[in-house]
Structure 1
Amino acid sequence: MRKVNGCVPFLAVCLLLAGLLSGCAHERVDPAYLALVEQQAELPPTGELGPGDRFLLRVYGEEALSGEFTVGADGTINYPHVGRFKAEGLTCTDVEVQLTLGLGEKFLKEPNVQCTIVEYNSKRIFIFGEVREPGTFPYKNNISIIEAFALAGGFNERASTNNTKLTRVVDGVEIQVRVPLQEIVEGRQRNLRLLPGDIIFVPESAY
């Protein structure tokens, strides 16, 4: 277990203890999963841009300034009348503000700029095990675990869905949580928002 600033963060410890307790009652929903679901509303935004990410810019009434852009390997984009600027680490909202200011200073009066993410390629999620198309997938903002399995083509017939494992780094500590996927599909448990770097593994059923 990795430590941060000499101690294991409190949140990660709570999740690890919850996971250990769940092993005593295999049929019950993992308390660590319930804790993640409860905390997801408080998670910080994950929409910062990185190299390879694609986004669409629209400037109202200016077709020549509208189009799709890709963050370069150096973390920058080159935009008409504004020039090259650092997009890495910015959100779409940050880009809107920067371009609104840039265009307003040099080219347009009161520009209306809209930014929409097309695809995150700098952030990935990983899905392995008993799914039809295992592999790595570009992260999408606010993607749920059910949406992720749709990207992977769904489950194989041998999948033990309620024993699905989610591996995530929380406060610098790697944790593993059992996800009750079948119960989520049936509407008996709440869905979970994934984060960049999440690893999901679906084991084979013993039957």
Structure 2
Amino acid sequence: MEPAMKRMTKGSFVAAMTVVTIGLASVAGCRNPAQSTLPPSAISAEPPAVPPLPKGDVYADETVPTADTPIETGDTLEIVIRRGAGEEKFTGLVRENGTVSVGFMEIDVGGVTAAEAERRVQEAATAFMRQPRVQVALKKKLLKVKRIFVFGDVKKPGMIPMARNMTMLQAIAAAEYQETALLEEIRVLRGGDLRKPLILTADLARAFTYGDLSRNVALEENDIIFVPREHLGDANEAAKKILPVVQVGVMPLYPAYLLPAFTTVR
């Protein structure tokens, strides 16, 4: 029985090694998603014309009107004029010439703040009523928010609303980069002409390691950011897929190794 057990053990070992070898071959075949399999000769010298990406109106942190927000064409003003115990309400759209209709009055409000618009409406209404009190609420037109795009080894890929003075570090923090992200070689594609974009490289590992923010790229609207994954991350992902296969192949062989330990007579 002992020779048979040795043969079984040897055969089991060979089978296990075969499974592991297949697994390692699969790991070696993994590649970083940022690496193209096409040769340089496959790149077209004159790609078809691509229209530039549309631009937004405001930054993400400017969508809510503040006391300093100017009134522009297409905005809506909600105006309340109080006199005595009564009040009158008006809603007016700011026209292209910057004026808004308040009853029979035409008030120029283009480019001024809501506070200044209140003063101008009150001044115009004083000619028709005694001691008017005016309140103006600014409702901005439907705005398109400036944006950037983040792809690669992040948890939230896709479009991200762009804040004023946004940097690469802020962008990948918003996209929630993975632990396997290769922070030394983040790529930025920039340019209105997508046929010949400017390619920048950001190194955020220097920021985390040395506090050096010199490679923390300042972003522009419609920048396309790619966060590659380090090769160790590729191997980890492959191992997650291979490990169940290895376990299935090796599990039946465990008794062949454990049985002699309990049956061997000393």
TM-score by length of 2: 0.41
Larger radius of gyration: 2
How big is the shift at 1:106? 0.8
Paired position in structure 2 for 1:188: 212
Kindly provide the CA deviation profile for residues 22-78 of structure 1, in whole angstroms up to 9, marking residues without a partner as x. xxxxxxxxxxxxxxxxxxxxxxxx99539xx7213349xxxxxxxxxxx9xxx7221
Letter in 1 for 2:182: S
Is the 2:153–2:180 Cα contact (8 Å) retained in structure 1? yes
Whether 2:191 is the aligned partner of 1:165: answer no
CA distance in 2, matches of 1:108, 1:168: 49
The alignment partner of 2:118 has SS state of helix
Which structure has greater strand proportion? 1
CA distance in 2, matches of 1:86, 1:179: 45
Give the RMSD, CA atoms, in angstroms.
4.2
Paired position in structure 1 for 2:158: 135
Paired position in structure 2 for 1:78: 76
Quick one: structure 1 residues 84 and 147, their matched pair in 2 at CA, closer, same or farther if it must change by over 3 Å? Answer: same
Whether 2:227 is the aligned partner of 1:202: answer yes
Is the 2:168–2:202 Cα contact (8 Å) retained in structure 1? no
CA distance in 2, matches of 1:108, 1:132: 55
Structure 2 spans left out of the alignment, 5+ residues = 1-54, 80-90, 97-109, 125-133, 233-266
Letter in 1 for 2:118: L
Q: After TM superposition, where is structure 1 displaced by more than 6 Å over at least 4 residues in a row?
A: none
Paired position in structure 2 for 1:102: 117
Quick one: structure 1 residues 80 and 189, their matched pair in 2 at CA, closer, same or farther if it must change by over 3 Å? Answer: same
Paired position in structure 2 for 1:6: none
Quick one: structure 1 residues 122 and 47, their matched pair in 2 at CA, closer, same or farther if it must change by over 3 Å? Answer: closer
Which structure has greater helix proportion? 2
Is the 1:121–1:138 Cα contact (8 Å) retained in structure 2? no
Question: Once the two structures are aligned, what percentage of the paired residues are identical?
Answer: 24
Structure 1 spans left out of the alignment, 5+ residues = 1-45, 60-70, 88-94
Letter in 2 for 1:49: V
CA distance in 1, matches of 2:173, 2:123: 43
TM-score by length of 1: 0.51
